[in-house]
Structure formats: C-alpha cells, structure tokens
Structure 1
Amino acid sequence: MPRAGAWHWCLLCLLCLWTWGLCGEARAQGHAEITQMQVERTPEGMLLSAALAFDLPEHVEDALRKGITMHFVLQAQVLRERWYWSDLEMAHAARYLRLSYQPLTRRWRLHISPEPLTGPGQGLALAQTYDELADAIGAMQRVARWKIADSAQVPEDLPVTVQMRFGLDLSQLPRPLQIGAFGRSGWILQMSQSLRLAGGGLP
C-alpha cells in the first residue's frame, strides 16, 4: 500500500486542483516581458545581460504558498541565418531555477543551476534564501553577464541572432497538477526576445 506521505501529497494536489477549479480563470498571465537584453562579445565568449518583468500567475503563486515547488527555465540560443535551410544553432545555454516556500521559517528559497534540478546536477546549484517573495522574484528577473557561448563557438566577425526565452516548466509539477495546468491561463508564464548581432558584435 502507498505510504501515508504519498497519500498526503496526492490529497494536497487534488485539493489544489479543486480549489483552483472553483476560482476559475480569474487572473490570466498578467504582465510579462523582457525589458532589456544586451549581448557582449569578449575574448572569453558571448555574455548575455537582461532584465525581465513579470508577475507570477495566480495559480503559480497559490501553489507556492501551499508548499509546491516551482521550476523555471532560462534559455539562450545563438543562431546563424541560412537562406537555403533553417537557421543553424551555433550555441545553446540554459539556466534552471527552482523556487520554494519553507512554511516553518516563512522564507523563500531559490536554487539556480546550469543543470536540471532533478538529478545529480543539483550539486552545481547556487542557493539563496529570501524573507519576501518579491525579493526572490527580483533575483530571478536579473541576468548579469551570463556566458552563453565560448569564443571558439561563434567567430567575432560572424553575424548571428541571439534568442532568449524564459518560462515556467510545467513538466516538473506533480502529475495531478500537470493534468489541470496545461493550457490554463492561470498557469502560463512564457516570454522571449531576439537580438541580432552584426559582425564584430555590434547590434
């Protein structure tokens, strides 16, 4: 038979679904955009800096406060345009973020890692604790000189496009919540932006 802890987790997920079903789609995605994006070409490689602006969707914030961890993914692609075929990906980088609430201490914990936070790569994660949710979100919204490609991957004189994406990773939700979350506006948080660089690193 399933352990008591597993039953408790299942009941919590079902209770969340029932509660959100009653509330309906009262609040959609809300404000979400990349307000600033800059790419530097340096001898070490390409460095991306950006500022994100977003509000957590209603159901996401509710789930966090109920103790359900949320996962987010920040991705960057360096693409070379090809007139005869689809664009060529020259480099790809990802940053994984895990946000959780600790009811006993009433504090928020944010993990950031270059590897998915669901396996052995967790040892590479940087963790920070915050007193307020707004402070944790603020840390997620700042991207400073993130290395997205080595200099050998992208020659400096080559024109490229850098595409940046950020969003909630619904696949990391508990299975019962995944079923109710996909396609519902109260769970949607996605944004993207592209920046074209001419040869030499100039936009």
Structure 2
Amino acid sequence: MRWDRFFEDVEDQLASEWEAERAALETEAERLRLSRLSLHERLAALSGGGAETIAVGVDAGADAVITAPIVGLGADWLLLSPWGSRAGAALVPLAAIVSVSLPHADLLRSARPDAASASTVARRATFGFAVRDVVRRRAGVSVHTRDGRTLSGTIDRAGADHLDLALHDAGAPRRASDIVGYRLVPFSSIAWIAVDGAPARPV
C-alpha cells in the first residue's frame, strides 16, 4: 500500500510540475507576444464603426484631452470624431499622443488585436497624406501646437514634413481680404488639428 501511495505521490508531483512548467511557458509566450505589440495595433483594435467602438481620451499635451471614438487610423495618425461627424474631426499625429485613457475591459481587448482591424491601405496613409486630404477639401482648421498655441485658418499646401497655413478667423471662409498672415508649420510641432469649424477647445 505504501508503494502504491508513493507512485501516486510521484505522479501527482510530476503532473503538478508539468502544469507549472506549461503555465510558465504560456506566461513567457504572452510576454513575448505583448513585447511585439505596437500602439498602432492597439488603437486599431479600438477603431472602426462597429458595436465595440468606444470613446477614448486622447491626451495630446498642452492640457488638450479629446474624448471621442476613433473613426480613422493611418500609418502615423488617428482621426477622432468628438463633435459627432467627420465634418468636425480631430486629426492627431501618433507622435503627439501623451497617453490614451479607456476603460479596463477595453484596455485588455486592445491587447488582443484582430489582424484584420486595420487595412493595408490605411497603414500606408501617412499624416502628410491626411493633411493633403484636408487641403483638397479646402476645410477650415484650427491647428493646435504642442506648446499650447492655436492657429486658425485654411491649409493651402502640405509638404513632406510641414504645412502652409493661411491665417484667418475660425469658422470663416478663406477670402484673400480676410487673410491676416501665413505660417509654415512643421508636422513635428502639431498636437492636433480640428477640422471644419470644430470647437477651439477639446471636449
């Protein structure tokens, strides 16, 4: 009887050690998977127009926290819809993001992104591409810089790493008589761009 118990104890111990080793391997594999996960992939898991789309709080620095759903995501930027439509959108370079706040369940969901959550076309569309789309639409903008300043007007051109901004009153159409100046604005100085008469301050 003692030998039977001995073998049972050995089997239990081996099973326990095997389970512990398997759990350790799974933990290490999970750590490795997470170490390869990018911010872009996590934001892609939170974007779109489906039932699971949620509002996130994007801190773009200079006391600007924009709380809104992510409605678009490019190679190095995201598009938020804090005013309920694409006509009132906020274009944010990923490099300007200080942090993103969201509920814990969605934080965990973003750590398991769907491989199909971002299209290959969207992944190739750079911030410059998105700004050139705003130029094409001739939309009025408020360019919020990382140091807390706001420049209102219309973007006339977008280069590889900067934009040309014709300054005029927010919400007014671009008329030569209303232009009060011009600015070259490097993309690296931009915290976010409010498009099409969106409010001057984030909500």
**What is the TM-score with the length of structure 1 in the denominator?**
0.28
Structure with max Cα Rg: 2
More strand by share: 1
More helix by share: 2
